[in-house]
Amino acid sequence: MKKVIAALLILFASLFLGSREGSAFLLDAECGRSLPTNAKLTWWNYFDSSTDIQANPWIVSVIVNGKAKCSGSLINHRFVLTAAHCVFREAMQVHLGDFDAWNPGQNCSSGARLSNAYCVRIDKKIVHAGFGKIQAQQYDIGLLRMQHAVQYSDFVRPICLLINEPVAAIDRFQLTVWGTTAEDFRSIPRVLKHSVGDRIDRELCTLKFQQQVDESQICVHTETSHACKGDSGGPFSAKILYGGTYRTFQFGIIIFGLSSCAGLSVCTNVTFYMDWIWDALVNLSA
């Protein structure tokens, strides 16, 4: 029996060993690649610019009772990374690919494969054991296992996570959101929006939100579009050079911001939790 379990773990691990640099390896060798957008985007015109799902094929909508509640990111064929507070007791689905942000329930009602997208039921959920025990927003990280593996395409592809080695320090991130864009929560975009955020001193967020923002979190300032209702669980990301290719890596998970949806956001520091992510994937796949 022990030999069978060991063999299964080796088989599971081999799914992620497609790209190595020393002892480090990408969680999924096909990660972080996307088709370019039609528009030429720079740091100066990136703010509030509409994008398309092919430019961000890892973006996931988290559906609960037919409604889009949160966002997430595809990290391999079977798993979605999101915030712990986005993991609900009710039956959940995730929607990946080219979908209608205004009517997710209609597209997800059958749980079937759509033209360029997947709507898949969640069969296992996990949140960090520390979530809710110290402060409301500490350990705010969770994983969703889809009922079946999804095939990659131009519209569906994982974001990069690096195992066994920290990625380079990044101070500027890309935020790609579906959620509301105004404090009254009535302005919901139908298409993805880009924004750029800069890492700032955690003490500023600690003072602003009147709760401790520690090394397991990142404090981010954005000039225009911000994390808002419906964006929780979505990725803060950046392109970095790895193995001679620029790929998109995830650095943060959106967890909360100002009620005005302006200025400051706090996200879970993904690199802080890489050991937890790896252990959880192994346990959920056993």
Residue 157 lies in a domain: no
User: pLDDT tens across 99-155, in order?
Assistant: 655 566 556 766 566 667 889 999 999 999 999 876 667 899 999 999 999 999 999
Mode of pairing for the β-strands spanning 162-163 and 142-146: unpaired
Range of the domain at 203: 167-271
* Strand order across the 20-21 sheet: 20-21, 24-26, 162-163
- Report the CATH number that the domain containing residue 264 is assigned in CATH: 2.40.10.10
The count of structural domains within the chain is 1
Is residue 90 within 8 A of residue 250, CB to CB? The reply is no
Residue 267 lies in a domain: yes
Q: How many CB atoms lie within 10 A of CB 34?
A: 20
Residue 43 lies in a domain: no
Assign 155 to helix, strand or coil: coil
Question: Who contacts 215 (Cβ-Cβ below 8 Å, separation ≥6)?
Answer: 202, 269, 272
User: pLDDT tens across 221-270, in order?
Assistant: 887 555 566 678 999 999 999 889 999 999 999 998 776 666 788 999 99
Residue 205 lies in a domain: yes
Residue 72 lies in a domain: no
